[in-house]
Structure 1
Amino acid sequence: MTTKTIDDEFARIVGSLSRRGFLTGAAALAGVGLLSACSGQSSEAATEDMVEIEVDGEKYRIPRDPKRVVVVEARGGLDFALLAGYPIVASNWDEKSHLMTMVPEGTAKLGGTNNEPNAEAILSHEPDLLVVGEGWWKYYQEHSLLGTDIAPVLVVGMGATDSQWKQAMIDQLTALERKDVADEVMADYNAQIAASKERIGGLLDGKTVIVAGVDDGQFWIQRETFVTSVMRDLGLNVVTMAPRGPTDTDYATFYGLEDLDVFDQADFILLQNIDAPDTQSATWKRVRAVQAGHVGELPYDLNSGLALTATALAADLAEKVQVMR
Structure 2
Amino acid sequence: MTLVLDTQVTDSEWAQIVDRISRRRFFGGAAGVAAALALSACGTSDAESDSASDTLPYTWGEFSGDVPRDPKRVVVLDGRVDLEFAMMMDYPIVGSGNFWFPDAKAGFQFPGRTIEDASFVNVAGDFSTNFEALLALEPDLIVITAIGYTSDWYGTERLSSIAPLLVVGDDVEPIAGHPVDWRGALMAQASQLDRVAIAEASIAEYDDKLARLRPMLQEKLGGKKIVLGVQTPTGFLVHQRNLRISVAIDAGLDVLFRDDDNAENSFELSFEQLDTLAPADVIIAQARDQEALDAIKTQPTWQRLPAVQAGNVLTSDARYNQGFALTAAIFLDVLEEAAGRITAGQ
- Which category describes the TM-score, using the shorter chain as reference length? 0.7 to 0.9
The match for 1:290 is 308
Matches of residues 37-56 of structure 1 in structure 2 within 5 Å? 47-56=52-61
Q: Aligned pair in 2 of structure 1 residues 44, 299: CA closer, same or farther (>3 Å)? A: farther
Contact 1:222 1:251 in 2 (8 A): yes
- Give the match for residue 108 of structure 1: 119
Tell me the secondary structure at the aligned position of residue 238 of structure 2.
strand
Superposition deviation, residue 69 in structure 1: 0.8
What are structure 1's unaligned runs of at least 5 residues? 1-13, 25-38
Match of 2:157 in 1: 146
**SS of equivalent to 2:133:** helix
Q: Could you say what secondary structure the match of 1:159 adopts? A: coil
Q: Does the 8 Å CA contact 2:285/2:315 hold for their aligned counterparts?
A: yes
Amino acid at match of 1:258: E
Per-residue displacement from partner, 1:43-83 (whole Å, max 9, x unpaired)? 99875111012213754211111111112121001100100
Give 3-state SS (helix, strand or coil) of 2:166's partner: strand
Q: Give me the CA root mean square deviation.
A: 3.2
Q: Does 1:212 align with 2:224?
A: no
1:79 aligns with 2:93: no
Equivalent runs, 1:139-288 vs 2, <5 Å = 139-140=151-152, 146-147=157-158, 148-160=160-172, 163-240=180-257, 250-273=264-287, 275-288=293-306
Counterpart AA for 1:84? M
Q: Deviations over 1:6-37 (max 9, x none)?
A: xxxxxxxx97233385999xxxxxxxxxxxxx
- Paired residue type of 1:275: L
Cα distance between partner residues in 1 of 2:12 and 2:134: 11
Which entry has the higher C-alpha Rg, 1 or 2?
Answer: 2
Q: What is the deviation of 1:215?
A: 1.1
Q: Structure 1's 258 and 62: CA in aligned 2 closer, same or farther, altered over 3 A?
A: same
TM-score (norm 1): 0.79
Greater alpha carbon shift after TM alignment, 311-320 vs 102-111 = 102-111
1:169 & 1:23 partners in 2: Cα distance? 38
Q: Say whether the 8 Å CA contact 1:46–1:66 is kept in structure 2.
A: no
Q: Which amino acid aligns with 2:81?
A: G
Worse overlay, 109-118 or 178-187 = 109-118
Counterparts of 2:299 and 2:263, CA distance in 1: 24
Following superposition, the deviation at residue 302 of structure 1 comes to: 2.0
State the aligned residue count: 292
2:162 aligned counterpart, secondary structure: coil
Distance 2:10 2:208 in 1: 46
Q: Which residue of 2 aligns with 1:67?
A: 72
Q: Which runs of 5+ in 2 are unaligned?
A: 15-21, 27-47, 174-178
Partner of 2:40: none
- Alignment correspondent of 1:11: none
1:121-169 deviation digits (Å, cap 9, x = unpaired) = 111111110012222222118x996334221111111224782222101
Provide, for residues 75-132 of structure 1, a one-character-per-residue CA deviation record: whole Å limited to 9, x for no partner: 0011001000111122234428423741445333445227433221111111110012
CA change 1:103–1:144 in 2 (3 A) is closer
SS for the counterpart of 2:79 is coil
For residues 218 and 44 of structure 1, what CA distance do their matches in structure 2 show? 56
Q: Quote how far apart the aligned CAs of 1:240 are.
A: 1.8
Q: CA 1:229 to 1:293, structure 2 compared with 1: closer, same or farther past 3 Å?
A: same
For residues 20 and 313 of structure 1, do their structure 2 counterparts lie closer, same or farther at Cα, with a shift above 3 Å needed?
Answer: farther
Which stretch of the first structure deviates more once superposed, 44-53 or 186-195? 44-53
2:330 maps to: 312
Question: How far apart, CA to CA, are the structure 1 residues paired with 2:75 and 2:65?
Answer: 19
- Scaled by the length of structure 2, the TM-score of the pair is 0.75
Closer, same or farther: CA 109–145 of 1 in aligned 2, 3 Å = closer
**Structure 2 CA distance for partners of 1:129 and 1:145, relative to 1, 3 Å:** closer
1:266-299: per-residue Cα shift (whole Å, max 9, x none)? 1101111172412321111111111111111121
Secondary structure of the residue that 2:53 maps to in structure 1?
coil
Amino acid at match of 1:61: D
- Identity among equivalent pairs (%): 28
Tell which has more relative contact order, 1 or 2 (C-alpha 8 A, sep 6+): 1
Contact 2:170/2:322 (8 A) holds in 1: no
102 and 313 in structure 1: CA distance in 2 versus 1, 3 angstrom threshold? same
